[in-house]
Structure formats: C-alpha cells, structure tokens
Chains A and B, each alone.
Chain A
Amino acid sequence: MAGPLEQFAIHNVTDPLFTIGNHPIALTNSAIFMLGAVVISSGLLLVGSGKAAMVPGRIQALAEVFYEFIGNMVRDNVGTAGRKFFPFIFSLFIFTLFGNILGLVPYGFTFTSHIAVTFFMAAVIFLAVTLIGLFKHGLHFFSLFFPHGAPLFTAPILIPIELVSYLSRPISLSVRLFANMTVGHVLLKVLAGFVVALGIFGAVPLAVLVAITALELLVAVLQAYIFTILSCIYLNDALHLH
C-alpha cells in the first residue's frame, strides 16, 4: 500500500520536451492537472458566457455567479480602483478553486498542495502589490509600516513589527493553502489505509472518510476564497495605504 505522501509525488508523463537553463521541462502529472483545471474552467466559462441569454441557463448562471462573486469581492475590498485587477483576481480564484477541487477527484493530483506552486503565486502577488504601491505612492508607501496616529516614540518597536508582518505575507499566504491541501489529502489517505486494514470494521473509518471528504470539499472552496480575498486585501493596502 502506498504511503500517505506518495500522492504528492511529481513524475514525468513524457520525456523532457525542452530545457530552460539547465532544467529539463517535461509534461508532469502536476502540469496535466494545471492544464486540466484551465481547460475545464475556461471550457465551462466559455460555454456559460457564449449564449448571452437574457434568462440564463444552468451553465450561464454558474458563470455569472462566479463573475458577480469575484466582482463584489473586488469592489468591496479594493473599491473602484481594483476594477483593472478584476481579470487577474478572477483568474486567481478560478485557478485555485479548480485546482483544489480537481485534487479531490480519486486518483487526482492536487497541484495547490505544492509549496512551489503556492509560494510562486504568493510571491508574484506580493511583489506585484508592493511595486503597485511604490509606483502609486512613491516613498509615501512606507507609511504603511507605521500606523497613522501612533506616538512617535513607538516607531522603533512598531516599524520592525509591521515590516516583519508585511514580509511574512507571501509565506503565510502560500503556506496556508499548501498546508491545508496537504494535510487534508494526507488525512484522507491515512483514513483510507484504516478502511482496508480493519476489514469488516473498516466501515467506521469509511463513514468518517465520507464526512471528511465533504469537509475537504468545503476546505477546497474556502481556501481558494481565502487566498483570493487576502490578495484583494493586500492589493487594497497597496492602493489606498491605511
């Protein structure tokens, strides 16, 4: 029986296609699920946005629910200035959501359970947001690290705290998603191992497994939401400071 960590192993499906620097790039199981998430989500959304019916059908209603959900999230958390980042935030949510949910399909692979993926996304968001803040506010951007109205003598304490908290944003953002996905899938795998090991009494962990699977579905949606809304909040901080 495979260990609980084996499901996270990345293996090549094809021979290396080309190299970037010294790194051979092959199509992997992770890549297939990334591309699959893109194909399934954009297929769904292209079909849903194609008909443009006044009274939407099911798929169109789903596409519009996504659109309005993320549209409201951006409007509520970033304001009208966030309008031009809407396509990015929308893509971020859809990519994370479909990655998380596709990972729950049996024999599937969860690319969001890899720190390389989540940290790269978080780092790009962090850098982009910081650059947007610097570009928009210039040096005034650094007032983000000193809360407005705090007594001046607290600066030696507050500024390092704020700086550390700011710099840890990409880490907390990426580790939250990665750890939640990893732990959920490890837990499912361990429980599944009990089902087989206990024979007839395996019905008990099986029932738990079903409940945990439902919970993992909730976690998959929730973590995609949290990842996206935190990106919105960081973007709002950069655009409007405090």
Chain B
Amino acid sequence: MPVSALRASGWGLVLAILPAAAHAAGGMPQFDVTSFPTQIFWLVVSFALLYVLMAGLVLPRIGHTIEAREGKIQADLDAAQKANDAARVAAEAQRAALAEARGKAAGTVRQAAEAAAAETTAHLTTLGEKLAGQIGEAERRIAEQRAQALAGLSSLATEITSSVLGKLVGNVDGTQVAAKVAEAVETARKGTK
C-alpha cells in the first residue's frame, strides 16, 4: 500500500526534522515538564467522569437492552416452535377428519344408490305385475269373445241350415240338423286349425 509506505517514510522524515524543529520551537511541547501536572489532573478528572458515566449508567443499560432482546428472541422462537407444533397437530386432526368425512360420504352415496336401485326394482316389479294382469285380462276377454263368437257361429249355421233344409225338404227334425251342423262346424274348425 503506497500510503502506508509513505507513512513509513514519514517516520523517517519526522525523525530527521524533529530535532531541528524541536530546537527551533524550543523543544517538543510533549517534554515540557511544567505542563504535566495540569495534563494529569484533567486526565484523571475527565477519565473518572467517563468511567462513572459508563459503569453507572451506559453499560448497565446497554447490557440490559441486549439481554432483554436475547430473551425476547428466545421467547419468540419458543412461541413459534409451540405454534408450529400446534399447527402440525391441527393439520393431522384435519387430515383425519377429512378422511373420516370422505369415508362417511362414500357410505352415504352407496346407501343412497342402493336405496334408489331397490326402489327402481320394486317399481319395475309392480309395473310388470300390473301389466301382466292387464295382459291376462285382455287375453281372457279376447278368449271369451272368441268363444262367444264361435258359439254364435254354430247356432247361426244350424239356423241357416234348418231354414235352407226347411225350404228344400220341408219339415226337418231340428235336433238332427243341429247335431250334424255341430259336427260339421267341429270338423271345419279342426280343419282350419
């Protein structure tokens, strides 16, 4: 560092010029013994004043402040640790509650689906039964009407045959005609089947 090198050469310079300068100025003021008592007196007074102020006021106050700050930082760290622990416990509880609620919800959904399915099945069953009843009724009616129609057919044929034979042959035994017609109708029915 050039500045410090310069200062070092400054020492040489000062040592070289000091004796001459000191001689010219009538000695270095530092070695004027008559000034010593005054200097030492004021040194003692001012240093004592500084010491009293430092030891009595400044240092206890700063020490107390630093201690209080360290205590506060430690307390805050402890509180943060505690809060962190509490938060972790709460998060754990929340996770458990969530899992439980999810399980419960799934159960409810399953139950609802089952209930809906059962209801649908029951509905379909009653509907099917009702329809089957209606179909049976309709078939029965059809069969009845058909039987009526067929019965009507036999008596109509007997009547027509009797009147035709009556006109052709004259007096005809009705019961004989009826038996023959019934036989023919039976045969025809069998044939058409």
Contacts and interface: CB of A to CB of B under 8 A. Distances in A.
B140 interface: no
B138 interface: no
A67 B30 CA distance: 32
The residue in A113, A114, A208 that gathers the most chain B C-beta atoms within 10 A of its C-beta is: A114
Interface string B33-73: 00111111111011101110111011101111110110010
B24 interface: yes
B110 interface: no
B42 A5 contact: no
B61 A52 contact: yes
A105 interface: no
Contacts of A90: 54, 59
Interface residues of B, number: 49
B28 A10 contact: no
A206 interface: no
Interface string A12-56: 000000001101111110110011011001100110111011101
B11 A183 contact: yes
B25 interface: yes
B25 A120 contact: no
B50 A91 contact: yes
Contact of B62 (A4, A63, A120): A63
Interface in B79-136: none
Interface of B: 3-4, 6-7, 10-11, 13-14, 17-18, 21-22, 24-25, 28-32, 35-43, 45-47, 49-51, 53-55, 57-59, 61-66, 68-69, 72
The 6 closest A-B pairs by CB, nearest first: A87-B55, A31-B42, A23-B37, A49-B61, A187-B10, A34-B46
27 contacts: A3-B21, A4-B21, A5-B22, A8-B28, A10-B32, A10-B38, A24-B38, A25-B38, A30-B39, A35-B49, A42-B49, A46-B58, A49-B58, A53-B65, A54-B68, A63-B58, A67-B63, A91-B50, A91-B51, A95-B47, A114-B29, A116-B36, A116-B39, A178-B30, A182-B30, A187-B14, A212-B6
